[in-house]
Amino acid sequence: MTWHESVALASVPIVAQTLVTVLHLVLTRLRPAWLPWQSLAVASAAGVVFAVGMTVAIVDHGSSLDLACYVILNSGASVAFAFGYFNFVNLNYTSLRVRLLRELAHRSGGFTVDDIMRQYNAGVALDLRLARLVKAGELRFDGTRYYLGSSRKFLSIGRTVRVVRGVLGVRPQEPKSVKCGEVERS
């Protein structure tokens, strides 16, 4: 394999992720009615297909074993890149910490915990989350009660997390009091 081919092969996941990012941004504008995960899934799938195609095109005269190894490597790297991008985008949709930071950035002259609680509390967050989970098919709402929906993604994620916690011997952090005057640097 020439030096240029090696450089091209190493660059494939980066180029594929650039494609994923651009395609995702285009899809969010062209298909605003789609769920965020739909445009991300389509863009990510396109990125992986692109990575596999480019890898096959670059290693066209190598052995089958080399080709298989590079396809696994570059498709794996593209999936990992797309997963990282998904998490970054997801922070914008669901992260309370990011929401807090963005809201606090607009306050000048400092703020108290009571200021935050007046604007943003569990009641508001719960309503938002339930609505989002119903829209995503994770929950079903009949007007009075919530039931498990047809999608079981979050249930699978929860089970996987519990298995990994068991392997690592990790327990999730205990919730900390939000009462005024009790927030301290830990």
Partner 1 sequence: MVVLFFVVILTLAALAVHVGVWRLAAPRLHTRALAIIFLGVLAAGLGASFSGLLPHLSAIEAVHVALTYVVGGLAYICFYSAIEENSPSTLIVEFTAAAGTDGRQLDEYRTIINDDLLIGSRFHALLRDGFVREQSGTYDLTAKGVRTARIFTATSRLLDLSGTG
The pair of structure tokens assigned to 135 is: 């829209």
Nearest approach, Cβ of residue 183 and partner 1 (Å): 6
Of 41-49, 53-61, 97-105, the window that binds partner 1 (rule: CB under 8 A) is: 97-105
The answer to whether 155 and 139 are in contact (CB under 8 A) is no
Which 3-state string (H, E, C) describes 16-66? HHHHHHHHHHHHHHHCCCCCHHHHHHHHHHHHHHHHHHHHHHHCCCCCHHH
Dihedral over Cα of 156, 162, 163, 168: its sign? positive
Q: What one-letter code names the amino acid at 167?
A: V
The region that residue 181 occupies, defined by phi over 0 for left and psi between -120 and 50 for alpha, beta otherwise, is: left
Nearest CB to partner 1, comparing residues 50 and 81:
81
* Binding residues for partner 1 restricted to 44-63, rule: CB under 8 A: none
* Binding residues for partner 1 restricted to 127-186, rule: CB under 8 A: 128-130, 132-133, 138-139, 142, 144-148, 154-155, 157-158, 161, 164-165, 167-170, 172-173, 175-178, 183-186
* Binding residues for partner 1 restricted to 10-39, rule: CB under 8 A: 10, 13-14, 25, 28-29, 32, 36
Fill in the per-residue mask, 62 to 81: x = in contact with partner 1 (CB under 8 A), - = not in contact.
---xx--xx-xxx-xx--xx
Nearest CB to partner 1, comparing residues 41 and 133:
133
